[in-house]
Amino acid sequence: MKKKLNRIPIFFAVDDRYIPFLAVALQSIIDNSSSKNYYLVKILYTDITEENQEKIKKYERENVNIEFVDLNYYIEELKDKLYTRDYYSKTTYFRLFIPDLYPQYDKVLYLDVDIVALSDVANLYNINMGDNLVAAAPDDVIQTIEVFQEYVEKVVGVADYRDYFNAGVLVMNLDELRKFNFQEKFLYLLETVKFSVAQDQDYLNRLCKGRTKIIKNTWDRMPIGGDTVDRKKLHLIHYNLAFKPWHFEDILYKEYFWKYAKKTEFFDEIQKIKENYSDEEKFKDREADKMLRALAQKESDCVGDDRKYKILRILQSQETDKSRERLAIIDKIEKLEKEGKFDIDAEEDPPTIELTPDNVDYLKEKRYSKIKNRVANKMGEKYLNDILKDNKLIIKEVNGIENLESVETGAMLTCNHFNPFDSFSIEEVFRNCKQSKTKKLYKVIREGNYTNFPGLYGFLFRNCDTLPLSSNKRTMIEFMKAVDIILNRGDFILIYPEQSLWWNYKKPKPLKNGAFKLAVRNNVPVVPIFITMEDSKIIGEDGFPVQQYIINIEKPIYPDEKLSDRENIEKMKDKNFEVWKKIYEDFYKIPLEYSCDKKVLENIS
């Protein structure tokens, strides 16, 4: 019977102190296991009593086998080299020996003891790893605390802290690790480099960088950074570092731990551990956190930092005009932010020629306008397909498409503006949305882009369902009429309420009233869209990494019939900004702050 089941090898490394918490972890795994799988649990140890081994063996089931593996003989020659600090024990290094210890396995799952599983861990084990050495989630602690971000990039050598993974939940590709001579390289590194902050985890990140499959943190979620992840999507909680519900009361996700702890024979023992955890011990935990941050800072201070010059060196080696232009734009953006001039474009706009009413057909009512509109839309669709295919535009993920699809009326779509291609991103989302079957998407553009932009871009700007603004009052009357008709017939309009384009600027900028006036005027909602971004591995023509976009579509914001137009405009604008701000802070794990004086910012708001 066992041979017919899918075999899931799971490894733990434990000493006697953590036996109660191993029981909780096993209880959660068993409760969420599948009868289609056979779970082979290997517990690596050097110091566990026979009594505790017998207690843990009680968790064996028909499809769960538990084996204790004594590693005393194996690490005898190495134990003096395995550096530890604080509450760490040498068992933390045991995972690094699994590839050579178990040549019969091609892949295994390694789990720290301080976890609870909320779904079947076999689903994690079964992910496609390709030829990557490990699969793991970004470390939530690193993603949240800036001093650690600097440490992992400068000291450990991970190019981007967002790729630094937590080693407490690992899918290990043993076959590839053996081909890589992982253990030999680890032992060499152990002799030559001393990582003091995260120890074995730092070694793993150093050795596996470039060959790591990064998975969602829902498989390794830690109680840090707030309750920002949809709990329905959580698969595994990791009570890392001092975030222990058996020590502290105010630990996020503590209810999951106690749910499974209650089912074990160790429940009373764990409660006593919590009750007897003294104020002095809690103080030591807090001090240990401060000391760890100080240690990371000290390590970082001892290493030169060439990260900010990395792009510059690439640009200088290419010696392109585009490269120099980009650097100038970055400098200008920094200056504009410091001065609080958020509504000024960082790049030179085309010269503006006044757009008069007889030179624009907003609704494409004229026969010649209709023909050019059809041609331009086909050309625009082909162009969009080409830049997606060539990775000039990379859309990594779209969140909240249901929020766009739920709108039954017309709507103003607000979006942050940081790249000429960001409108193509929204276009791609819209054409893959069911709304595209019955609605059209219009784009509000600047006057100069319509009147004086050359070549293909100019043709598309003038003819692809665009709504140009104008410095001419009579033209703006026609613009307002067109907007009213478009929204009242149920179509969508994309608008940039920041009213400026700052290249690859990640923060939301203060918003202007225009988008919200149009929504209130026509009694339609605003749908806030905020695009977050991260470096891809592709370098663009300007020498900078092409950004990959995560498009976040939030719930529509409707006017309140009890409020005046002015009150609605302010309320909708403020709510839109708060939504953007939350997305920014949740994604980048940093508070939204600007370099300009706070008084300047208050005057803008």
Cα 474 off chain centre by: 46
Query: Which DSSP helix (H) or strand (E) runs through 512?
Result: none
238: left (phi over 0), alpha (psi -120 to 50) or beta: beta
Q: Can you tell me the mean pLDDT for 181-205? A: 81
Per residue in 1-50, pLDDT (tens digit) is: 345 789 999 999 998 999 999 999 999 999 999 999 999 999 999 889 99
DSSP state, 127?
S
pLDDT band at 316 (very low <50, low <70, confident <90, very high): very low
- Kindly provide the b/e burial profile for residues 568-580, where b requires at least 16 CB atoms within 10 angstroms of the residue's own CB: bbebbbebbbebb
Place of tokens 């440490």: 151
The CATH architecture that domain 328-604 belongs to is 3-Layer(aba) Sandwich (3.40)
**Which has the closest alpha carbon to 108: 99, 96, 118?**
99
Per residue in 149-172, pLDDT (tens digit) is: 888 888 888 888 889 999 999 999
pLDDT band at 605 (very low <50, low <70, confident <90, very high): low
Place of tokens 């939301």: 508
Separation CA 513–CA 434 (nearest Å): 29
The pTM (predicted TM-score) of the whole model is 0.56
Per residue in 205-221, pLDDT (tens digit) is: 999 988 999 999 999 99
Query: Which DSSP helix (H) or strand (E) runs through 129?
Result: none
User: CA 343, 392, 532: angle at the middle one, nearest 5?
Assistant: 50
Query: Which DSSP helix (H) or strand (E) runs through 476?
Result: helix 473-488
Cβ atoms < 10 Å from Cβ of 554:
21
Q: Please say if the pLDDT value at position 83 is more than 80.
A: no
Q: Where in the chain is the domain with CATH 3.40.1130?
A: 328-604
**The predicted structure's pLDDT at residue 280:** 92
**The predicted structure's pLDDT at residue 319:** 45
Separation CA 490–CA 556 (nearest Å): 14
* Homologous superfamily (CATH) for 2-301: Spore Coat Polysaccharide Biosynthesis Protein SpsA; Chain A (3.90.550.10)
Separation CA 544–CA 535 (nearest Å): 9
Burial class (CB within 10 angstroms; exposed 0-12, middle 13-18, buried 19+) of 60: middle
Q: Where in the chain is the domain with CATH 3.90.550.10?
A: 2-301
Q: Please say if the pLDDT value at position 545 is more than 60.
A: yes
Q: Where are the alpha helices (DSSP H) in 32-170?
A: 50-57, 72-75, 98-101, 122-125, 140-144, 146-151
Three-class SS string for 245-298?
CCCCCCCCCHHHHHHHHCCCCCHHHHHHHHHCCCHHHHHHHHHHHHHHHHHHHH
**In sequence order, what are the residues at sequence separation of 6 or more whose Cβ sits closer than 8 angstroms to the Cβ of residue 447?**
352, 353, 354, 355, 468, 469, 470, 471
391: left (phi over 0), alpha (psi -120 to 50) or beta: left
